[in-house]
Amino acid sequence: MWDSNGVEVLSSANRDIEFLALTSNDEFVLKRSLNSGNGTEKPILIQLDEPYEKFKSTSTLTLVDREGSNYVIEKTNIEMLIVATGKKKVYSISNGKLPLISMVGQRLQFTVLKPDGKPLDPVSYVAKRVKEEAIKLHLDVDIVKGLTEKNEPIIEQNIKLHDCACGRDITLDDLKALAVGSTKHLSKFIAPINDSFKIYKIDKCIQKAYFISQTFLETGEYKYLEERVSAEYEKNNYGGYKGRGLIQLTWKDNYIAYGKFKGEDFTGVNRVKISSPKYAVDSAAWFWRKGKARDLNELALKNDLIGVSAIINGGFNHFDNDNHGGRENRKAYLLRAFKILKVGNCKIIDQSLLSSLDDFKLENSIVNDMVGEVFGWGLWHDPEYKKIGCTKSLSEARKGYARFIELSKNQKFKPPKRYGYTQERAEVLARRKLSG
């Protein structure tokens, strides 16, 4: 038993006893060995080599509910009591975590206060190491329903559920887990990604998964931040404004529109700025929310991989098929991102999606109402054609062609040619395929 004056050891007779002392380097060293003899009381003085002031312990206190889920409620108040002195201090946290500095051996008591000011049961804590592992403070609270024990007040708060990635930043470990190739370059994208997610409100776990998986595919896992073509090719084919950024911002009009939104100039010599990590990510997030008539954030919330892919790619290149073992296509990246960001555990998104996160059907996609793209769905799946990126399927091809014929009664291709076909030629092809 330890107190401020020494150590009392209760032992049987004739027992060998070793006394280890903690150093400020967080290591234990042998200070003394002895035998308990006949077990009589005998005071033993053990002199420490360092002053007690050096034994400050650092850790993090994490709040969890009775189910073990993170307890994250805005402006949660925690009262800390130093038992020896009776001194109290109240901390207010919003992320469910409290950085903690205390002395090794110092007795503390923590009490979480409910929003009505009433305390939950106090929990005691004593740091035993200089570098203590993160501590989980278990509370008798149901985080999902916001209820305390029976007959106790309901927690009237906006409860955030953080087992998924809705309530946290993207980490380097997240990107490394998603990657197939080298990861040495990924660290420089963490800050821009998290900054852009806040600016453009890409804040749900499923939206983050969609954005990262699509941009990983578009850029070779963030290795290529601009199209790999010559300056002459860029001038002759793109008017000097080739694709740059994580979603390949292309054409001068788009550079101007993005610059207008940012209040910056990205034309002329400044166009190369979009190839830097900061603007490569930011321009992609701008496109994600504002660069097209469709808000890709909303499509991500509906788990519409077909729609998001069609809008970003213009077709279905690398949709669910690739030449790299099946791990570097849009579907494969997305399903890995779902696991890494724990989308399946989310309590915020439409719960009906959770049982079918890997099920992507044309009839559930916005593409089913887009005349050009639905023709593309047929073309990419058609076993007779060389479009690469979708697993060939005659039934899926016919599904796309049939819907295209329906939509052609009231919709026209914009632009007049899609995937090398005028609408008239596309109708001839579709009807032939459906009659065969």
Residue by residue, DSSP assigns 224-257 as --B----HHHHHHHHTT---BTTTTB-SHHHHHH
Give per-residue pLDDT as tens, 340-366. Answer: 999 999 988 999 999 999 999 999 999
Same domain? For 222 and 271 the reply is yes
Please determine, for residue 144, whether its predicted confidence score (pLDDT) is greater than 80: no
Please give the helix or strand (H or E) that residue 212 lies within, else none.
helix 205-218
Average pLDDT, the chain: 85
Write the CATH number for 86: 2.60.40.10
Q: Which ranges of 302-422 does DSSP label H, i.e. alpha helix?
A: 305-313, 330-340, 371-381, 394-407
Same domain? For 64 and 50 the reply is no
Q: Confirm whether 166 is domain-assigned.
A: no
Q: Confirm whether 432 is domain-assigned.
A: no
Please determine, for residue 42, whether its predicted confidence score (pLDDT) is greater than 80: no
For 309, the domain range is: 172-360
10 Å Cβ neighbour count for 102? 19
Give per-residue pLDDT as tens, 76-119. Answer: 888 889 888 889 888 888 777 788 888 888 888 888 887 667 78
Same domain? For 241 and 267 the reply is yes
Same domain? For 192 and 327 the reply is yes
Q: Confirm whether 412 is domain-assigned.
A: no
In the beta sheet, which residues pair with residue 100?
Answer: 59
Instruction: Decide if 102 contacts 89 (C-beta within 8 A).
Output: no
Instruction: Decide if 330 contacts 217 (C-beta within 8 A).
Output: yes
Which pLDDT score, from 0 to 100, does residue 114 have?
73
- Give the three-state DSSP class for 291: helix
Contact partners, residue 101, CB within 8 Å, separation at least 6 = 56, 57, 58
Same domain? For 339 and 218 the reply is yes
Same domain? For 133 and 207 the reply is no
Give per-residue pLDDT as tens, 213-248. Answer: 999 999 999 999 999 999 999 999 999 999 999 999
Q: Confirm whether 273 is domain-assigned.
A: yes
Distance of alpha carbon 122 from the chain centroid: 33
Q: What percent of the chain has pLDDT over 70?
A: 83
Please give the helix or strand (H or E) that residue 425 lies within, else none.
helix 423-435
Instruction: Decide if 401 contacts 378 (C-beta within 8 A).
Output: yes
Boundary (domain end) residue, out of 329, 360, 391: 360
**Helices and strands (H, E) in the chain, number of each type:** 12, 13
Boundary (domain end) residue, out of 317, 339, 360: 360
What global pTM score does this model have?
A: 0.65
Q: What are phi and psi of 377, to 5 degrees?
A: -60, -40
Boundary (domain end) residue, out of 159, 192, 212: 159
Same domain? For 133 and 1 the reply is no
Q: CA–CA separation, 19 vs 8, rounded Å?
A: 11
Number of domains in the chain: 3
Q: Confirm whether 407 is domain-assigned.
A: no
Q: Are strands 76-82 and 107-113 parallel, antiparallel or unpaired?
A: antiparallel
Same domain? For 177 and 35 the reply is no
Same domain? For 112 and 246 the reply is no
Same domain? For 153 and 238 the reply is no
Same domain? For 231 and 350 the reply is yes
Q: Which residue has the higher pLDDT, 55 or 389?
A: 389
Same domain? For 10 and 149 the reply is no
Instruction: Decide if 345 contacts 354 (C-beta within 8 A).
Output: no
Which pLDDT score, from 0 to 100, does residue 67 have?
54
Q: CA–CA separation, 393 vs 83, rounded Å?
A: 71
Q: How many residues does the chain have?
A: 436
Write the CATH number for 285: 1.10.530.10
Q: Confirm whether 402 is domain-assigned.
A: no
